[in-house]
Chains A and B, each alone.
Chain A
Amino acid sequence: MTAWFVRRLGYFLPILLGVNLLTFALFFVVNSPDDMARRHLGERHVSPAAVSDWKRAHGYDRPAFLNPAQNGLAMVTDTLFFAGSSRLFSFNFGRSDGGRHIGWDIRQRIWPSLAIALPVLILELLIAVPLGLAVALLRGSAFDRGLTLLCVAAMAISSLFFIIAGQFLFARMLRLMPISGFAEGWDALRFLLLPVVVQVLAGLGARVRWNRTVFLEETSREYVRTARAKGLSEARVLFRHVLPNAALPLITTIVVTLPGLFLGSLITESFFAIPGLGSYTIDAIQNQDFAIVRTMVFLGSLLYILGLLLTDLAYAWADPRIRLGGN
């Protein structure tokens, strides 16, 4: 167990390093620091001296991976890659290429993101798990067939449509809530209702169907047949036996969404003008602000790793047969 845990923790560094390396490579294939400087300085009257000033001020004047001007260890450390990465690992995200302090911005923007993502996750679970159970229980009935068809149909609709139609119908035609925007405090409820409902609706079809598959798969296992043979009622079989066993795949799918929870939903946030981390990331991609992009990628991968740890722990906790000790 301890060995397993240590090995897991040992993943942290190489994965984050790998992620950093990949982001770095991908971004710099596309963007030379000169491009970035020109972009940030504006379009007109930009002199080469201004470009080199900007690069120096933002640390982009150093070589990417190896600095031949330095000796010994400094050859590696006095580089763009090392300086950028080492700062990230100490959670000092520095300033964006646009000049703002990234850590401060993230602290500001995480709350709107969570205010959308958490209700969405909870509502989805609250609706999709009981519905999944219900259809699994009523499998083969008209209700099951109808709901499955509805799910399949809902899955075939682009999420963009839900957003567009939601804004059109509820905000414009029925005037029930603001079209987009955000406010602090309790007033935020008015602004959150539509994005949350839209996101739940858009994801519901897939989730109910997935739950139904998982539950049905569990109900076809040996132990369920044994339980049924013992004369237990279907409800008892489902709640006592199927639900705990089906928890594993459910947990896996939830954990996968964990980074998304913090990083926000890119499309929803930008459509509804929610000042969260999702719209932050989209803006950064569109403005090619590398410092922000790298920070968000770093945080995303960190959350992924945490999620992975949680999944494995959950598996071990839910099913003692899984070997944590390796071979």
Chain B
Amino acid sequence: MLRRVLALCGVLLSALFCGSSGANGGPWNAPYPLSDRGRSVLFSTFQTSPRHLDPVSSYSENEAIFTGQIYEPPLQYHYLKRPYALVPLTLQAMPEVDYRDATGRRLEEPVTEQAVASVIYRLRLRPGIRYAPHPALARDRAGRYRYHALTKNEIAEADTLAGFSATGTRELVAADYVHQIKRLAHPDLHSPILGFMERYIEGLDALARTLREERSHSTDPLDLRAFPLVGARVIDRYTFEIVLKERYPQFLYWLAMPFFAPVPWEADSFYGQPGMADRNLNLDWHPLGTGPYMLAENNPNRRMVLVRNPEFRGENYPSLEAQTTKRGPAPPSAEPRLPRIDEIHFMLEKEEIPEWNKFLQGYYDTSPIAPDGFEQAIRFDAQGKPEITPEMRAKGIRLSVATRMSISYVGFNMLDPVVGGRGRRARLLRQALAIAVDTEELISIFGNGRGVPAQGPLPPGIFGHRTGESGINPVVYRWQDGRALRRPLEEAQMLLAEAGYPDGIDPATGKSLVLHLDATSSGPDTKALFGWYRKQFARLGIDLVVRSTDYNRFQEKVQQGEAQIFTWGWNADYPDPENFLFLLYGPHGKTRHLGENAANYANPGFDALFHRMRTLPNGPARQKVIDEMVSLVRLDSPWLWGFHPQAYALEHAWMDAAEPNLMARNTLKYRQIDPSLRVKLQARWNEPVRAVVWGVAIGVLVLMAVVVWRVRQRARAVAP
């Protein structure tokens, strides 16, 4: 019997290896079907499954990479212009703005803030924009919607969206944008910005109340067309207006986000039919937009596939007018129509190591640099500027570096009796810590140098940020030999002694001062990171206790003001200083006002300046106000300013060279690849080591033979 088993194993093994080595000659380790490699397909990755692709509720980075290609809000960021600038996307021109006083009278520039009672934005669409084909828009010959009155059986029969064989399209009209703005107030859709927008859009709060009321009476789908919204109205087929309750110049940036992308009422009517949701048939999983791509396959467990939208109106590759920045590359002359790539395949990659290795093998076209691949990919020249290593350059890999519009910082809870408040003692303590915690070392150890030490709340690239000597934080740095130098530890120790903690000893207890750092623990690096923070505080003789909790608890603690010192970060919603400075605006205090000011910093002087800064146009006047604000918070040090992370991205030779645009989310339509070069290089880099396979197979067979031989020998022996 053993022999039979052995023979079977042998046959199976050899069949497997013969089969695999005979298979179509390509590399063995391709993480996707080999046939896809030669086509115009971009291979990219996503780390977490998107939860919402409905533009009304999607707010996270990992969803934006899909929604950005599918939906078209009225505005977009210019692909090449720096600093970032908004340009029309579906509009004929930038929105016209009207300021009205309480009587509805139009105000002429310059307007004073007090006089403004409402602001009207008028948006004019470009005609001829069409939706991607979708069953919700399919009509029969009589012009009636085919799939808007389905029975449960019919839905069950179709089962997936592909089960509805007919599709249709129609032109984008102004009513679709208004419909989407109303959807922000829909009680079942939980738009994350409803609470925020209620403050600005006229009548949105009232609509939300009405809809909530309506929802409590019945569970039928709500038809939003029956509920008017004062703050968003259709003027004609291609024109609509948005009315704001107060002046909010940053509103334009919101018009470049998917929250304000059009959704046809047909989609809600189609997906609202009973039985649809049970099959995951809804806008969250099967979006419908006017963008250059449409979602063809949605398998959040494995891959997401975007394909070219056949109804896309076409768009030209943008160009820079001569007088603007020279930084962008010249637009390629050939094939200026967008999108340029046929399909984009996003593969799920939760772990960094496999993703990095697959990039090196040539299976992904672009990659962020895994922290652990850093030494392998990047080295710094004598000036400390990053450049790519020779072996990477030999593969044709290119590096692009851009500082993110974000800040990663350590906040002090200003409500805390020890570290908080604007009293002298606590301020000195915070300043001492700001010097002692060596951000440069943090960036170098934990970020491989991928970060810029923050001199205040504003990252580079945002209006108001200053470089050079005038840009340094004088509390922590001094300017010497043309560079910012961190003040020596002795100064921190002096400040600490002045604060009443000589050598870190708390006079109240006679022991080391004990401080608490709250943080979420995630992944293996956190232990090292916490150890590093303890080491930094210990340099001042302060005993830092790290309280690591899960994400929820951490959020709750910061929210309730129970945290003392905490790690936090902010990603820009839009490239305006307001989006960073409001993080320190008193009335946005997290604990008291549920705002985004996590440190609960409150300084009346700062708040007054903030009011002025908000509505000022970018220019010297605004710069002056911002300088004042920044120097106020530097002195108070409510944050250890931390750093602005830098995004290093690598791209293979077969990708077109492009400057990264960190604000725009709809950039994939501009990219181009050369699939034949990809096929060639992949084959060269992934030659399997076949000899090992045969070695292992032979080894296993020999081992089995020996076992069988020994067993048979033994089995013949008869017990005495």
Q: Which residues of A contact B (CB under 8 A)?
A: 31, 35, 38-50, 53-54, 57, 95, 98-101, 104-105, 108-109, 126, 130-131, 134, 137-138, 141, 143, 167, 171-183, 187, 189-191, 228-229, 231-235, 237-239, 270-271, 273, 275, 279-280, 283, 288
From 337 to 361 in chain B, residues with beta carbon under 8 angstroms from any chain A beta carbon are 347-351, 353-354, 357-358, 361
B715 and A137 contacting across the interface, CB-CB below 8 Å: yes
Q: How far is the CA of A123 from the CA of B532 in the complex (A)?
A: 46
B2 and A108 contacting across the interface, CB-CB below 8 Å: no
**With A234-B715, A234-B719, A239-B1 given, is the CB distance from A183 to B33 under 8 Å?**
yes
B60 and A178 contacting across the interface, CB-CB below 8 Å: no
Q: How far is the CA of A138 from the CA of B208 in the complex (A)?
A: 79
Name B692's closest neighbour in chain A (CB-CB): A174
Contacts of B719 in A (CB 8 A): 228-229, 231-234, 237
Contacts of A53 in B (CB 8 A): 187-188, 190, 212
Q: How far is the CA of A228 from the CA of B301 in the complex (A)?
A: 57
What 0/1 pattern do residues 176 to 192 of B give for CB contact below 8 A with A?
A: 00000000000110111
Give the segment of B621-629, B662-670, B683-691 that binds chain A: B683-691
Q: How far is the CA of A135 from the CA of B284 in the complex (A)?
A: 57
Name B551's closest neighbour in chain A (CB-CB): A39
- 9 closest A-B pairs (Cβ-Cβ)? A47-B195, A275-B301, A235-B715, A181-B31, A45-B196, A178-B31, A228-B719, A35-B552, A174-B689
6 inter-chain pairs at a CB distance below 8 angstroms, sorted by A residue, are A57-B188, A100-B280, A126-B9, A238-B715, A270-B351, A273-B348
Q: How far is the CA of A54 from the CA of B215 in the complex (A)?
A: 13
A175 and B689 contacting across the interface, CB-CB below 8 Å: yes
A42-B60, A99-B52, A180-B31 known, 15 other contacts, Cβ within 8 Å: A35-B555, A45-B596, A47-B194, A54-B190, A101-B277, A104-B278, A108-B301, A137-B714, A138-B711, A172-B357, A175-B689, A181-B31, A231-B718, A234-B715, A283-B49
**With A174-B688, A176-B692, A271-B351 given, is the CB distance from A50 to B190 under 8 Å?**
yes
Give the segment of B22-30, B266-274, B457-465 that binds chain A: B22-30
Name A109's closest neighbour in chain B (CB-CB): B301
Q: How far is the CB of B248 from chain A (nearest CB, A)?
A: 14
B29 and A176 contacting across the interface, CB-CB below 8 Å: yes
Name A178's closest neighbour in chain B (CB-CB): B31
What 0/1 pattern do residues 263 to 296 of B give for CB contact below 8 A with A?
A: 0000000000000011110101100000000000
Q: How far is the CB of B254 from chain A (nearest CB, A)?
A: 11
Contacts of A130 in B (CB 8 A): 2, 5
B278 and A270 contacting across the interface, CB-CB below 8 Å: no
Q: How far is the CB of A31 from chain B (nearest CB, A)?
A: 7
Q: How far is the CA of A143 from the CA of B713 in the complex (A)?
A: 13
Contacts of B594 in A (CB 8 A): 47-48
Q: Is B444 in the interface zone, CB < 8 Å from A?
A: no
Contacts of B208 in A (CB 8 A): 49
A273 and B29 contacting across the interface, CB-CB below 8 Å: no
B556 and A167 contacting across the interface, CB-CB below 8 Å: no
**With A101-B279, A130-B5, A228-B719 given, is the CB distance from A179 to B358 under 8 Å?**
yes
Q: How far is the CB of B536 from chain A (nearest CB, A)?
A: 27
Name A129's closest neighbour in chain B (CB-CB): B5
**With A42-B192, A138-B714 given, is the CB distance from A187 to B33 under 8 Å?**
yes
B556 and A35 contacting across the interface, CB-CB below 8 Å: yes
Contacts of A44 in B (CB 8 A): 59, 192-193, 196, 596
**With A50-B190, A239-B1 given, is the CB distance from A280 to B9 under 8 Å?**
no
Q: How far is the CA of A108 from the CA of B191 in the complex (A)?
A: 29
Contacts of B31 in A (CB 8 A): 178-181, 191
Q: Is B680 in the interface zone, CB < 8 Å from A?
A: no
Q: Is B141 in the interface zone, CB < 8 Å from A?
A: no
**With A57-B190, A99-B284, A233-B718 given, is the CB distance from A175 to B552 under 8 Å?**
no
B302 and A275 contacting across the interface, CB-CB below 8 Å: yes
Name, among A31, A57, A100, A179, the residue most crowded by chain B CB atoms within 10 Å (CB to CB): A179
Looking at the complex, which one of A108, A178, A239, A273 makes contact with B350 (CB distance below 8 Å)?
A: A273
Contacts of A48 in B (CB 8 A): 594
**With A42-B60, A100-B285, A134-B707 given, is the CB distance from A167 to B693 under 8 Å?**
no
Q: Is B151 in the interface zone, CB < 8 Å from A?
A: no
What 0/1 pattern do residues 1 to 39 of B give for CB contact below 8 A with A?
A: 110010001000000000010000001111111000000
B350 and A270 contacting across the interface, CB-CB below 8 Å: yes
B350 and A41 contacting across the interface, CB-CB below 8 Å: no
Q: Is B710 in the interface zone, CB < 8 Å from A?
A: yes
Q: Is B717 in the interface zone, CB < 8 Å from A?
A: yes
Contacts of A228 in B (CB 8 A): 719
Q: How far is the CB of B12 from chain A (nearest CB, A)?
A: 10
Q: How far is the CA of A44 from the CA of B569 in the complex (A)?
A: 12
Name A37's closest neighbour in chain B (CB-CB): B190
Q: Is B144 in the interface zone, CB < 8 Å from A?
A: no
A171 and B29 contacting across the interface, CB-CB below 8 Å: yes
Name, among B280, B361, B711, the residue most crowded by chain A CB atoms within 10 Å (CB to CB): B711
Q: Is B393 in the interface zone, CB < 8 Å from A?
A: no
B347 and A181 contacting across the interface, CB-CB below 8 Å: yes
Q: How far is the CA of A95 from the CA of B689 in the complex (A)?
A: 47
Contacts of A283 in B (CB 8 A): 49
Contacts of A95 in B (CB 8 A): 277
Q: How far is the CA of A190 from the CA of B21 in the complex (A)?
A: 11
Q: How far is the CA of A174 from the CA of B361 in the complex (A)?
A: 12
Q: Is B51 in the interface zone, CB < 8 Å from A?
A: yes
B190 and A41 contacting across the interface, CB-CB below 8 Å: yes
B347 and A234 contacting across the interface, CB-CB below 8 Å: no
Name, among A41, A173, A283, the residue most crowded by chain B CB atoms within 10 Å (CB to CB): A41
Q: How far is the CB of B175 from chain A (nearest CB, A)?
A: 26
Q: Is B716 in the interface zone, CB < 8 Å from A?
A: yes
Q: How far is the CB of A78 from chain B (nearest CB, A)?
A: 16
Name B356's closest neighbour in chain A (CB-CB): A179
Q: How far is the CB of A87 from chain B (nearest CB, A)?
A: 13
Q: How far is the CA of A33 from the CA of B357 in the complex (A)?
A: 40
B192 and A41 contacting across the interface, CB-CB below 8 Å: yes
Name, among B33, B347, B552, the residue most crowded by chain A CB atoms within 10 Å (CB to CB): B552
Q: How far is the CB of A212 from chain B (nearest CB, A)?
A: 14
Q: How far is the CA of A131 from the CA of B703 in the complex (A)?
A: 12
Q: Is B210 in the interface zone, CB < 8 Å from A?
A: no
**With A44-B192, A181-B32, A275-B302 given, is the CB distance from A134 to B350 under 8 Å?**
no
Name B209's closest neighbour in chain A (CB-CB): A49
